Homo-oligomer: A and B are copies of this chain.
Amino acid sequence: MRSTDPDSDSRRSPNSSPETAEKILTAAVAEFARHGFTKTTVRGIAAAAEVSPGLVIHHFGSKDGLRSACDEHVFERITESKAKNASYATMAVQMMFDDPEMSTAVDYLVKSLLDPSEHGQRYFDHYVDLVESYLTDGFAGYTFRQSEDPHGQAATIAVMALAPSILEHRLHSVLGTEDTTDMMTRLAPHLLDLYLHGAIESVPEDSDLGDEES
């Protein structure tokens, strides 16, 4: 196929570039993250990457092929960053909103989750498993309430954790925030309170949902 010897290559004219494919892929991830898969057009990606629409297809076969390539790329970025940060929760979270490429990667994942595609399901399954391991083994010194149905519990928590990112735009309008960091800062104390103590102060007297824990 294509031999990419870095040292035998000298800087050349706009032709001959393994960079080009990467440029297209980066533009595609950004476009998909912003508009979702359906509304994103090949022409739009080509324009963002400053190439012709035909070249996009030439490199990735089809729009779906490009999507698959984006999936792999984003998955690598996310997992590699997760490995680097290991158990440093706050650091990882901060990174997700500070590093712009990581931020678009997260947006990409969210859009994948909302599209009814298999890729998004893979991400979600992976995420639920991760949450389940955190719930059982603890995470960064935190321990969690145990349940008879750890998988259901993990799915519940996972969904809750994803919700603010999914409805970010709606939250911005309601809270008057302008970027992700501001919004998350505003939400953080309430999320912490919810996770630490719940939301309900007292139940009706005739309720049987009292404190009959195991």
Beta-carbon contacts of A172-206 to B below 8 Å, as 1s and 0s?
01110000000000110111111111111111111
A145 touches which of B156, B167, B199 (Cβ 8 Å): B199
Q: Return A124 CB to nearest CB of chain B, in Å.
A: 5
Q: Return A158 CB to nearest CB of chain B, in Å.
A: 8
A121 touches B170 (CB 8 A): yes
Instruction: Please report whether the interface of chain A is mostly helix, strand, loop or mixed according to DSSP.
Output: helix
B142 touches A202 (CB 8 A): yes
- Interface 9-mer from A23-31, A50-58, A66-74, A147-155: A147-155
A153 touches B190 (CB 8 A): yes
* Complex Cα spacing A160 to B163, Å: 6
Q: Which residue of B lies closest to A111 (CB)?
A: B114
A130 close to chain B: CB less than 8 A: no
Q: Return A208 CB to nearest CB of chain B, in Å.
A: 12
A209 close to chain B: CB less than 8 A: yes
* Complex Cα spacing A204 to B151, Å: 24
B120 touches A170 (CB 8 A): yes
A162 touches which of B167, B169, B203 (Cβ 8 Å): B167
A151 touches B175 (CB 8 A): yes
Q: Return A159 CB to nearest CB of chain B, in Å.
A: 5
B193 touches A147 (CB 8 A): yes
Interface residues of A (CB under 8 A from B): 38-39, 113-114, 116, 120-121, 124-125, 128, 140-147, 149, 151-153, 155-157, 159-160, 162-164, 166-167, 169-171, 173-175, 186-187, 189-207, 209, 213
Interface pairs A-B: 5 shortest CB-CB: A141-B204, A163-B163, A156-B190, A143-B201, A124-B170
20 pairs from A and B in contact (CB 8 Å cutoff): A124-B173, A124-B174, A141-B204, A143-B202, A145-B193, A145-B200, A147-B189, A147-B190, A151-B175, A152-B186, A155-B174, A155-B175, A159-B164, A159-B167, A159-B170, A160-B194, A162-B167, A166-B166, A196-B203, A197-B198
